[in-house]
Amino acid sequence: MCIQNQEIMEIIYNDVFKEHETGMHPENKKRLEAFEGLPITEIPSDDSVLSLIHHSNYINKVKDYASRGMPLDGDTHTSLASYDVAVQAANATLLASENQGFALVRPPGHHAYADRASGFCLFNNVAIAAQHQVDQGKKVLIFDFDGHLGDGTSHIFYNSDKVMYWSIHQFPAFPGHGSVDEIGKGAGEGFTVNVPLPPRSGDDIYMDALNYTLPIAKAFNPDIVAVSAGFDAHQYDLLLDLRFTVEAFYSTGKILTDNFENVFATLEGGYNVEELPKCAINFLQGINKKKKRYKEPHTESDFKVWNEYELRIDQLLTTMKKYWSI
Ligand SMILES: [Zn+2]
């Protein structure tokens, strides 16, 4: 199926994404059931796209483990359909990259490495789509506002100057790293931008972090922006201790659309099924320059949290000034 480039970011979704069964796990099908009236898009099942990023022995391992419903690690479960569902999640994200869409998929991807699963992620959807764009000569900015570092994505492009990885996340938290001095290596030095926020950071700190690091992303001058859109930084999420509101995600969408021309997104985390649709819809409304659908009083961070954050952001900006005119 071919969708023409469009002005409006639209959701790319299929009910198949509910077929990855994880039981009583925070990353479960209820996350997508919480969205109502989603249009269905036909998604290709082409598993050759996985090899844009993943090693063939790992791809075979996922296929094998899923056929037996075996977990890939303590956090990352599979069921009979999981391999095919994960293949379609990657393809939906690839489709989003060609149509400025928002791939509303599961399983998520940003913790997955080239050769191993991690943190509920089987294949790295955003990395696959980014590599697909790099192969067409594009410079890709990956902006990851999920509350966790996308350690898989970061690792995959750590040596690349074709992809900038920009992540705002809680630290300390899973996966245990993502500090300001992880800036990339070799040709990729200066192309990894980690903005670690202290636990209890609210909307005020998030917006400050976004606005102070946006100039680095703009200096990179990407042809296309891939968004790892995770919503577990919301104040009522179960897995993290950040305090963003639905308003923060609306502003994020708006800032992206005001500063970049070609943006697509894929769903990562977000585990409060009441809040997830509100966060995602607000983000989409922001991207599409429409009115915000949901409102919530802004959250403010206390003095100690601000102090810790300011030390970190100052260090990051000092480092990044060596690489970028900001
Ligand atoms: Zn997350």
CATH number at residue 141: 3.40.800.20
Active site residue 77: no
With respect to residue 2, please indicate whether it lies within any of the assigned structural domains: no
Task: Encode 238-264: b = buried (16+ Cβ within 10 Å), e = exposed.
Answer: ebbbbbbbbbbbbbbbbbbbeebebbb
> Is residue 204 in some structural domain?
yes
Cα(145) to ligand 1 centroid in Å equals 9
Evaluate whether residue 267 is within a structural domain. yes
Task: Say how many Å lie between the CA of residue 1 and the centre of ligand 1.
Answer: 31
**CA 221–ligand 1 middle distance (angstroms):** 26
Question: Structurally, how many domains does the chain consist of?
Answer: 1
Residue 229 domain-assigned (yes or no): yes
Range of the domain at 213: 18-320
pLDDT tens per residue across all 326 residues of the chain: 334 445 799 999 999 999 999 999 999 999 999 998 999 999 999 999 999 999 999 999 999 999 999 999 999 999 999 999 999 999 999 999 999 999 999 999 999 999 999 999 999 999 999 999 999 999 999 999 999 999 999 999 999 999 999 999 999 999 999 999 999 999 999 999 999 999 999 999 999 999 999 999 999 999 999 999 999 999 999 999 999 999 999 999 999 999 999 999 999 999 999 999 999 999 999 999 999 999 999 999 999 999 999 999 999 999 999 999 99
Å from CA of 89 to ligand 1 middle: 17
Cα(4) to centroid(ligand 1), Å: 31
Q: How far is the CA of 325 from the centre of ligand 1 (A)?
A: 31
Q: Which of 179, 167, 143 is nearest to 257 (CA)?
A: 143
- Write out the residues surrounding ion ligand 1, Cβ under 5 A: 146, 148, 230, 232, 269
Catalytic-role residue among 54, 77, 110, 111 = 111
3-state SS assignment for residue 153: helix
Closest alpha carbon to 141 in 212, 216, 54? 216
| Within a domain: 187 | yes
